[in-house]
Amino acid sequence: MIAAAIALLFTASIPLTEWLVASKPPEPRGYADEDLSLKGADMRGWVFGAEGLIADWYWMNSLQYIGGKIASVGLDKINIDDLSALNPRLLNQYLNNTVDLDPRFVAAYSYGATVLPAIDVDQAIALTEKGIANNPSNWRLYQYLGYIHWRRKDYDKASEVYTAGSKIADAPSFLREMAAAMKTRGGSRETARQLYLQMYNEADDQQSKNNAELRLLEIDTLDELEALNDLLASAKAASGLCPERLSELFPKLASIKLPRDRSFSIDRQKQLVDPTGFPYRFDRDKCRADLSFESKIPRTLE
């Protein structure tokens, strides 16, 4: 009898919980983005040695915070180069709290270096410089700082940072090569490809890896579009007419060698598709191919 009563009451509590959640007044506007009341630097020494655990908590929060912001508008509707419309103002605070509690947490610096530039580039630089100050022998942080300066087209500063990083004992030769490349061809596509390839291979966190992968796909797409439009231009120059369909170019596309030993992709419907599987858009009036409007490839390096 008592067991049945307990089960009944417990069952009744489930819809009641749902109702309470549904009927709860919404949080005040902007509440979710209010400044954090605790600062990581102030907590050190006051948390019974659990600094690492609390750093993990802030790290998870920073991932959930950005994830939640992106999910609220949809991944396909965001510009990965400018997230300011999402107002993710707390990301810097979350990441700073993380690294203030655990100064060796390199993944937090690298995440900040790849995501924060889309919010506030100065915050990204400050966080990465803090990482270098805390971990002077970690060449990856120089790589990320060089990347931020490269993204803002400050090639001299980027070269300076890569040079500093290349002097670290176990730094790969890539840093020295990048230091030189920044001086001579900082804005080239090949430099961008090398940078993102390194970031993809070395990333400590999945977000940075995904970001680098997306950028590499963008660069691959630029290669494909360049070759495709060159072919269209030569076809038009030869016959005086633009081809009716892209499929007319397939035999010639097969012989084109793309960087990274890649080749063009054709789907089951015999359509020429970009690296994410969306068919290229063909504007016969202009005799040019371009990315589909639905394509997931960003357009930031054009």
Partner 1 sequence: MLSRIFSIARNTFREAVRDRVLYNLVLFVLLLVACAIVLGDLTDGHEARTIVNIGLNAMLFFGVFIAIFVGVGLVSKEIEKRTVFAIFAKPVGRGEFIIGKYLGLCLTLAVNVAVMAAGVSLALLYVGGSSFAGTIWGTVILIFLELTIITAVALFFSSFSSPALSALLTFCIFVIGHFSSSLRELAANIESTFAKLIFDAMYFVFPNLSHFTFVTNAAYGDVPPAAMIGGSLAYALIFNTILVLGAVLIFSRRNFK
Query: Would you say 63 or 289 has its CB closer to partner 1?
Result: 63
Q: To the nearest whole angstrom, how small is the minimum distance from the Cβ of residue 111 to partner 1? A: 8
Q: Which CB atom, from 101 or from 297, has the smaller least distance to partner 1?
A: 101
Interface with partner 1 (CB under 8 A)? 44-46, 48-53, 55-56, 59-60, 63-64, 101-102, 104, 107, 111, 204-207
In the bound complex, what is the minimum distance in angstroms from residue 99's beta carbon to partner 1?
Answer: 12
Tell me which residue has tokens 């009341």: 37
Helix (H/G/I), strand (E/B), else coil: 243: coil
Q: Rounded to the nearest whole angstrom, what is the least distance from the CB of residue 125 to partner 1 in the complex?
A: 22
CA dihedral sign, ordered 204, 261, 228, 277: negative
Closest to 117 in 3D by CA, of 186, 215, 194, 202: 215
> What is the smallest separation between the CB atom of 54 and partner 1, expressed in angstroms?
9
Are 135 and 104 contacting, i.e. CB atoms less than 8 angstroms apart? yes
Nearer to partner 1, 28 or 45 (CB): 45
Choose between 67 and 277: whose C-beta lies nearer to partner 1. 67
Amino acid at 162: Y
Nearest distance, CB of residue 46 and partner 1, angstroms: 6
CA distances in angstroms from 70 to 78, 103, 276, listed in the order given: 7, 27, 20
Residue closer to partner 1, measured from CB, 64 or 87: 64
Structural tokens at position 168: 């670290």
The residue among 30 and 45 lying less far from partner 1, judged by its C-beta, is 45
CB of 204 to partner 1, least distance (A): 8
